[in-house]
């Protein structure tokens, strides 16, 4: 996500500064700094940026469930450190459909949150801290990252491994570059509050895996869809994780993108995995 934000920052006329913690992946950025969000850092306030985008954190929901205190230090206190340092800058914070309980297929911006997982609870806590910024909730982000769902499915297909995926968890996925582009469009239109940014088609994760692999030209015979209850996942997942993109389309005039074109543009990356 960070690389796509850097790319679009440059396209929209900004001079971006990338931050990194575990790895440096800002080939497009002329400037980048190491940052550990767990500790206060005055460099952001010294730079006085126009806007600060915050996609960072630990997004491994099972790890967060098992390591609640450390997850809190990263995903809540760490973000609070950034928010404090970024006073005076516009804020764009990325949240998740995990803030919802998942007992319906898709959710609107104005519906009440009721997270079931530690990860979702921490997202809600941070959302409550942001009074005047932009909160972008999203789901199923894929792109040039080895950890995302599509990358995992491609690697398993290439290695001839069975992939067992839930056929009752709903998502409407979006590529990281479509998400980054929408983020800047919203920022420049003066959007504040909560906006859902996600794709234009709902799939179960099994359906999404099958569609993605077929579009990319990989085998699908080793895919197996099962109920979530058979997977014994550590953190509870919202079965209905789709996001309705009402404000994105009606208020800001942006269409929810369909994933096929994004997958085709990423074909070369997935071939190199």
- Cα(9)–Cα(52) distance, rounded to whole angstroms? 11
Average of per-residue pLDDT across 94-103: 98
Please say whether the dihedral angle defined by the alpha carbons of residues 194, 238, 176 and 173, taken in this order, is positive or negative: negative
In this model, does residue 27 exceed pLDDT 50? no
Q: What does the pLDDT look like over 189-220, one tens digit per residue?
A: 999 999 999 999 999 999 999 999 999 999 99
The half-sphere exposure of 171 on its side-chain side, counting CA atoms within 13 A, is: 26
Domain range summary for the chain, segments of one domain joined by +: 2-272
Q: How far is CA 203 from the centre of its chain?
A: 17
Query: Is a pLDDT exceeding 90 seen at residue 34?
Result: no
Cβ atoms of 151 and 210 closer than 8 Å: no
Query: Between the CA atoms of 182, 59, 25 and 83, what dihedral angle is there, to the nearest 10 degrees?
Result: 70
C-alpha dist (Å) from residue 165 to 16, 93, 223, 236, 254: 37, 29, 7, 15, 31
Backbone φ and ψ of 72, nearest 5°? -65, -40
Can you read off the two tokens belonging to residue 148?
A: 């995302």
Q: Which CATH code is given to the segment(s) 2-272?
A: 3.40.50.720
Q: What is the pLDDT of residues 42-81, one digit of tens each?
A: 778 888 999 999 998 999 999 999 999 999 999 999 999 9
Quick one: pLDDT at residue 55?
Answer: 94
Q: Would you say residue 7 has pLDDT above 70?
A: yes
pLDDT of residue 38: 66
Q: How far apart are the first and last CA of the chain?
A: 17
CA 138 to chain centre: 6
Question: What pLDDT does residue 18 have?
Answer: 80
- What contacts 41, CB < 8 A, 6 or more positions away? 35, 81, 85
b/e sequence 126-142, b meaning 16+ C-beta within 10 Å: bbeebeebbbbbbbbbb
How sure is the predictor about 9, in pLDDT bands with cuts at 50, 70 and 90?
A: very high
pLDDT tens by residue, 207-265: 999 999 999 999 999 999 999 999 999 999 999 999 999 999 999 999 999 999 999 99
pLDDT digits (tens, 9 = 90+) for 113-152: 999 999 999 999 999 999 999 999 999 999 999 999 999 9
Query: Bridge partners of 96?
Result: 138
- DSSP conformation class of 97: G
Strand intervals (E) in the chain: 17-20, 31-34, 51-54, 90-96, 106-107, 134-138, 141-142, 163-166, 170-171, 174-175, 193-196, 203-204, 223-226, 242-243
């Amino acid at each position: 996500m960070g690389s796509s934000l850097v790319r679009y920052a440059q396209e929209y006329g900004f001079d971006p500064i990338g931050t990194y913690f575990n790895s440096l992946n800002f080939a497009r950025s002329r400037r980048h700094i190491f940052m550990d969000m767990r500790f206060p850092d005055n460099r952001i306030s010294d730079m006085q940026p126009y806007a600060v985008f915050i996609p960072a954190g630990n997004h491994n929901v099972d790890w967060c469930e098992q390591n609640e205190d450390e997850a809190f230090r990263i995903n809540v206190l760490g973000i609070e450190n950034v928010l404090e340092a970024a006073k005076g800058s516009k804020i764009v914070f990325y949240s998740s459909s995990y803030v919802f309980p998942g007992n319906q297929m898709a959710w609107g911006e104005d519906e009440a949150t009721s997270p079931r997982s530690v990860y979702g609870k921490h997202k809600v806590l941070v959302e409550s801290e942001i009074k005047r910024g932009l909160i972008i909730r999203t789901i199923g982000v894929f792109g040039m990252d080895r950890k995302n769902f599509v990358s995992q499915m491609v690697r398993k297909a290439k290695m001839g491994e069975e992939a067992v995926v839930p056929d009752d968890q709903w998502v409407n996925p979006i590529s990281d570059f479509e998400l980054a582009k929408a983020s800047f469009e919203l920022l420049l239109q003066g959007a504040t509050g909560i906006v859902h940014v996600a794709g234009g088609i709902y799939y179960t994760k099994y359906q999404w895996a099958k569609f993605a692999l077929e579009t990319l030209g990989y085998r699908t015979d080793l895919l197996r869809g099962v109920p979530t209850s058979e997977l014994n996942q550590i953190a509870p997942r919202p079965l209905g994780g789709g996001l309705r993109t009402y404000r994105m389309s009606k208020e800001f005039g942006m269409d929810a993108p369909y994933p096929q074109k994004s997958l085709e543009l990423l074909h070369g990356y997935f071939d190199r995995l």
